[in-house]
Amino acid sequence: MQLRKAVINLGFLSLLIIIVYSGYTAATKGEGFAIYLTREDIPPAKMEALSHVELSDQPIVSIENIITYNTQTHEMKLTPSAFERIFELDVPVTGKSFMVCINKEPIYWGAFWTPISSISFDGVTIWKPYNTQEQKIIVLELGYPTSSFYGGEDPRNNVKVLESLEKADKLITKLSLTAVDKLPHSMKGYELYSWEENGQWHYTLITGTNRVKTMEEITSNEDFISEIGWVNIHVVGVDAIKDVLSRLPKGESVFWCDELHIGEKTGPIILQLPSKQIVEAISEYAKQCGLDFVH
């Protein structure tokens, strides 16, 4: 009888130890990366004057809501439910403050911003989506309406933030072309540049803008691929540029530019069109892809 009691007591003690240890592990592990609203809905204009800010009870974006976080573009691909929360968020033209936290410890703050606002902001922003788009992506931007309004250092590559996302297997450093089914639509279309180097033809497809491009960004070997924004892709050879063009949305405008369209001319590279035969082959393929192709 005494032995049976001892066994029961030992079993109960073991169970108690497991429960306490499990609770301790959960507490020390924490929730990792999360984005919280402020408890009192403190406006962005008052955030810097406060020494302490209370967080809302639940995060608006938790680590479980994130599918991927791209360190090159700072795009977060979210689950549909999390994206819907952001879409339905009531964001005034003066912004809505948020805190980026690790285990509920604030790392940096920013503000949700609506694209219809005419008020500039010099902090980190997340723009409220226009619609429930197919790509469930939000972006941690610098400043509003452009990065030229941002002041200070960029906090988005904080070591604790990146470590938490990497530990949760959410972190990617950049997108490769093969990982993207379709490149994003560009309001001003795309620009295509070409030049010959070491006997090979090089091509760069870059997002169209009102400003002139520089030779440095046109000839850069560092691809930049956003799923909803800026694109700069450099490839070599006709087959490679055809592959790039095939990933553009049907009806997209592409302007094949020559050297007269760039801002500065430096170094030995001369932007120009290849032979008539190559131009016609690429143009015909672009039209087969349903692109509005001009050269």
pLDDT digits (tens, 9 = 90+) for 133-184: 778 999 999 999 999 999 889 999 999 999 999 999 999 999 988 888 899 9
Residues 161 and 107 in one domain: yes
Q: How far apart are CA 265 and CA 195, in angstroms?
A: 13
Residue 188, helix vs strand vs coil? coil
Instruction: Give Cβ neighbours of residue 83 (< 8 Å, ≥ 6 apart).
Output: 129, 132, 136, 137, 138
Q: How far apart are CA 202 and CA 2, in angstroms?
A: 85
pLDDT at 268: 78
pLDDT > 90 fraction of the chain, expressed in percent and rounded: 71
In a domain, 19, yes or no: no
Predicted confidence (pLDDT) at residue 265 exceeds the cutoff of 70: no
Predicted confidence (pLDDT) at residue 55 exceeds the cutoff of 80: yes
Which amino acid type is present at position 62? S
**Which of 153, 172, 191 lies at the terminal end of a domain, its last residue?**
172
- The predicted model scores a pTM of 0.80
**Whole-number average pLDDT of the chain:** 87
Predicted confidence (pLDDT) at residue 6 exceeds the cutoff of 60: no
Predicted confidence (pLDDT) at residue 199 exceeds the cutoff of 50: yes
Of 1 and 126, the one with more pLDDT: 126
* pLDDT tier for residue 214 given thresholds of 50, 70 and 90: confident
**Which of 151, 172, 193 lies at the terminal end of a domain, its last residue?**
172
Residues 204 and 129 in one domain: no
Predicted confidence (pLDDT) at residue 77 exceeds the cutoff of 70: yes
Indicate the burial class of 78 (C-beta count within 10 angstroms; 0-12, 13-18, 19 or more).
buried
Q: How far apart are CA 86 and CA 76, in angstroms?
A: 12
Arithmetic mean of pLDDT, 224-244 = 95
Whether 51 and 101 have beta carbons less than 8 Å apart is answered as: no
pLDDT at 138: 95
pLDDT at 28: 39
> What's the domain range around 54?
31-172
* pLDDT tier for residue 19 given thresholds of 50, 70 and 90: very low
Query: Per mean pLDDT, which range of 17-26, 60-69, 115-124, 270-279 is the poorest?
Result: 17-26
Residues 141 and 183 in one domain: no
Q: How far apart are CA 53 and CA 199, in angstroms?
A: 61
pLDDT at 247: 96
Residues 226 and 125 in one domain: no
Predicted confidence (pLDDT) at residue 1 exceeds the cutoff of 50: no
* pLDDT tier for residue 264 given thresholds of 50, 70 and 90: low
In a domain, 131, yes or no: yes
Q: How far apart are CA 6 and CA 115, in angstroms?
A: 69
Residues 91 and 66 in one domain: yes
The H-or-E segment that residue 251 falls in is none
pLDDT at 23: 38
Give the count of domains, the chain.
Answer: 2
**Which of 156, 172, 188 lies at the terminal end of a domain, its last residue?**
172
Arithmetic mean of pLDDT, 112-118 = 96
